Amino acid sequence: MTTLSPEILSTLQAQAIELPSWAFGNSGTRFRVFPTAGTPRDPFEKIADAAEVNRLTALAPTVALHIPWDLVDDYTALRRHAEDLGVKLGTVNSNTFQDEDYKFGALTHHDERIRRKAIDHHLACIDVMDATGSRDLKIWLAEGSNYPGQNDMRGRQDRLQDSLQQIYARLGDDQRLVLEYKFFEPSFYHTDVPDWGTSYAQVASLGDKAMVCLDTGHHAPGTNIEFIVMQLLRLGKLGSFDFNSRFYADDDLIVGAADPFQLFRILTEVVRGGGLNNPDVAFMLDQCHNIEDKIPGQIRSVLNVQEMTARALLIDRQALDAAQQANDVLGANAVLMDAFYTDVRPALAEWRESRGLPADPMAAFAASGYLPRIAEERVGGTQAGWGA
């Protein structure tokens, strides 16, 4: 069995992966949202499910919120509820893609009334951050156009910068704005923030408290995502990850499911660039579990990230550097592949047990009775899901 050094284990023990509240609600395809028994009916129940993931893995100490999906009357009470369950509230995500007014844009809209409404929504999100103790406001914009000539693309960029400046000005000293990008959907001719370069250009103009969010599913096929990770770390502008996996586009599947080697390569650059356990780089999942159970889906995801991080930490950096300096192409590749092919699962299972955690969190959850219990308890009311 592969042995993980005390240094690697100490690094892994510090790893934290934020869970998205919406991953515990009902989701599906654009054709249907599929309900499941035991689905949370409010943010309090979402946080309870997220806390169960953390209890079994010790990997997920924070929960991200989505506004207005996670609106409550008293965020101090929600914060206290989370802390009582051993977790904290994390990133606050805005939503300007489900309101009728935002059909043709929000922060980029030429109608000042609608743009003002979108800006005010983000200011309200910062009010939520003030109450929850959250640091990051994450913005993803479903804005753009479908046809050439439909919009003035430059004008939209100018309005976006002005909108972001107004939001940025409201941030507290310890708060950040994190701008996500996505190369298409729902706009198909042009998207206002389609790539890391546009996101970087926008946040670089704002200041030190503005960063880029990299969603691993938001790239065209064949994109070298680890290169982008390297570049944003090098520039000091990688604020957060949204980890998921895709086969075609923004599939939001369990991270590492489609291409485990890609996840390994990304984490290799995270380690190389000083992004691992760096408080300035937040690890988060962004997934929608369409047909699988939500809680074990999140458990599997955080374990996948942990396993690939362990493999990345096993890379013999001295041997890799020597091979690279000698232009030993195949030798350098072999060093990387040796780490990737190392099965760290038995060592991680043994390490979990030594810390009082279940060796197999997936099996422990299945045996816990948690799922049938919440299915029995959460009867009546409206289940949470897309838009709720």
CATH code (residue 99):
3.20.20.150
Distance CA 92, CA 66 (A): 6
Count of residues making up the chain: 388
Residue 184 counted as domain residue: yes
Q: Residue 204 has which token pair? A: 């670089």
Residue 141 counted as domain residue: yes
Helix (H, G, I), strand (E, B) or coil at 64: strand
364 burial (CB, 10 Å; 0-12 / 13-18 / 19+) is middle
Residue 181 counted as domain residue: yes
Residue 256 counted as domain residue: yes
Nearest Cα to Cα of residue 214 among 188, 187, 196: 196
Q: Which residues of the chain have pLDDT under 50?
A: none
Look at the alpha carbons of 240, 244, 248, 249 in this order and tell me if their dihedral is positive or negative. Answer: negative
pLDDT at 387: 57
Peptide bond into 346 cis (omega under 30): no
Give me the number of domains the chain comprises. 1
Region of 277 please: left (phi>0), alpha (psi -120 to 50) or beta: left
pLDDT at 388: 52
Which residue has tokens 């369409």?
Answer: 290
Distance CA 283, CA 265 (A): 16
Distance CA 117, CA 102 (A): 10
**Other residues' Cβ atoms within 10 Å of the Cβ of residue 51:** 20
Nearest Cα to Cα of residue 19 among 122, 96, 93: 93
E-strand ranges in the chain read 19-20, 27-28, 33-34, 62-66, 88-93, 136-139, 144-145, 176-180, 190-191, 210-215, 238-243, 282-285
Residue 99 counted as domain residue: yes
Nearest Cα to Cα of residue 386 among 26, 146, 101: 26
Q: Residue 256 has which token pair? A: 């590492």
pLDDT at 33: 85
Can you give the residue range of the structural domain that contains 270?
A: 15-314+370-377
Nearest Cα to Cα of residue 344 among 376, 304, 381: 304
Nearest Cα to Cα of residue 361 among 307, 310, 303: 303
pLDDT at 27: 86
Reported pTM:
0.96
pLDDT at 174: 98
Distance CA 370, CA 151 (A): 51
Q: CA angle, corner 92, sides to 89 and 94, nearest 5?
A: 155
41 burial (CB, 10 Å; 0-12 / 13-18 / 19+) is middle
pLDDT at 198: 98
CB 109 within 8 A of CB 118: yes
Distances (CA, A) of 281 to 8, 24, 236, 284: 19, 24, 10, 10
Distance CA 265, CA 336 (A): 9
Residue 337 counted as domain residue: no
CB 232 within 8 A of CB 275: no
Distances (CA, A) of 78 to 24, 45, 95, 183: 16, 10, 20, 34
Residue 345 counted as domain residue: no
